[in-house]
Amino acid sequence: MKLEQITEPLLSWYEKNKRDLPWRREPTPYHVWVSEIMLQQTRVEAVKDYYRRFLAELPGTRDLAACPENKLLKLWEGLGYYNRVKNMQKAAKEIVEEYGGNIPPDYEKILALPGIGSYTAGAVSSIAFGLKKPAVDGNVLRVISRITENGEDILKQSVKRRVEQELEAVMPEDRPGAFNQSLMELGATVCIPNGMAKCDVCPVRHLCSARAHGTVLDYPKKAAKKQRRIEEKTVLLIQNGQEYAICKRPDKGLLAGLYEFPNMEGWLTQEEVLKAVEELKLMPLHIRAAGEAKHIFSHVEWHMKGYVVKVASTEEKKAGSLLFINKKESKGKYPIPSAFSAYRKYIEED
């Protein structure tokens, strides 16, 4: 089978079946860029509302470059992989400084920006600028591995590089963006992961080797991933009147720069919690358990036990690294990740 044969059927199918997505309405370079960053490891349905809200607040590259970090993280709150938005702002500043505020229509220059790898550089280049560059993501690797019945591990970068080369060689000069999107659209809606592929409506079923051999569900091949480690944590809801304490996470590592409830490693007893609160220069008045919660990240699990600790009123809005906030501030101002959602309700209620 010559891979080149897929281009015409894919393009025809795409024109008839493409979804109406917010970022396809007016595919300016900025719009395409923002959408592609949000879509990294994130489903279309999850992105839609974030995308609309983000563009309403930050309609252009210069707005993004000038946005305060707390507001930026708040716009990303719950979407995950927060380095994406920090890198995007770094890139926005570079674009303002180096390119007068406009993303350059140049694949190599786009690729050199922070947070942009070969996939995103190819997507922006082809969709926004009509450049003949492939955009190979998980969808494309799945589709191609099935069509060619290739049993190599698609997580290996050598496999991805080769697919990029092969696709670049067969891409249509005139519609590279539509071609890239047709492969991704096919992977997202027809040649879907875990579950039955809808081969009966696939525009390239007659060219698919796995389809011919009844082995579609055997592809793509992927190496098994290793087990998550488990971390036990104690989460404190330190209550001072109508306010609760939060603190800022370090600016590197997991959930960098976001806010959280004070917490410590391990499961502490009530006595240990009271002692810890006193070490924060606070006077505990009352303590009660606040339930358990589990949060699963891709590489680690948090097993949390919570306590509500009422403390004697402090004059200070800040006590050490702690910041006391009320319900309204927590909603509008400080980005708090979903990992704490089980405990966030203690300040959002009442």
Active-site residues, by number, are 36
Minimum CB distance to DNA, residue 216 (Å): 13
Asked if 153 contacts 160 with a C-beta cutoff of 8 angstroms, the reply is no
Beta carbon nearer to DNA, 67 or 184: 184
Backbone angles phi, psi at 298, to 5 degrees: -65, -30
The whole-angstrom separation of Cα 263 and Cα 312 is 20
Beta carbon nearer to DNA, 68 or 253: 253
- The b-or-e profile of 190-221 (16+ CB within 10 A means b, else e) is bbeeeeebebeebbbbebbbbbeeeebeebbe
Backbone angles phi, psi at 311, to 5 degrees: -120, 155
Beta carbon nearer to DNA, 298 or 315: 298
Minimum CB distance to DNA, residue 139 (Å): 5
Which residues lie near DNA (CB under 7 A)?
Answer: 21, 35-36, 39-46, 78-83, 87, 114-121, 123, 137-139, 142, 156-158, 181, 184-185, 187-188, 193-195, 222-226, 253-256, 295-300, 337-339, 341
Beta carbon nearer to DNA, 100 or 195: 195
Beta carbon nearer to DNA, 56 or 223: 223
Minimum CB distance to DNA, residue 109 (Å): 13
- The b-or-e profile of 2-23 (16+ CB within 10 A means b, else e) is eeeebbebbbebbeeeeeeeeb
Minimum CB distance to DNA, residue 269 (Å): 25
Asked if 261 contacts 338 with a C-beta cutoff of 8 angstroms, the reply is no
The whole-angstrom separation of Cα 327 and Cα 175 is 50
Phi-psi region of 214 (alpha: psi -120 to 50; beta: other; left: phi over 0): left
The whole-angstrom separation of Cα 12 and Cα 215 is 26
Chain Cα centroid distance, residue 305: 27
Minimum CB distance to DNA, residue 320 (Å): 24
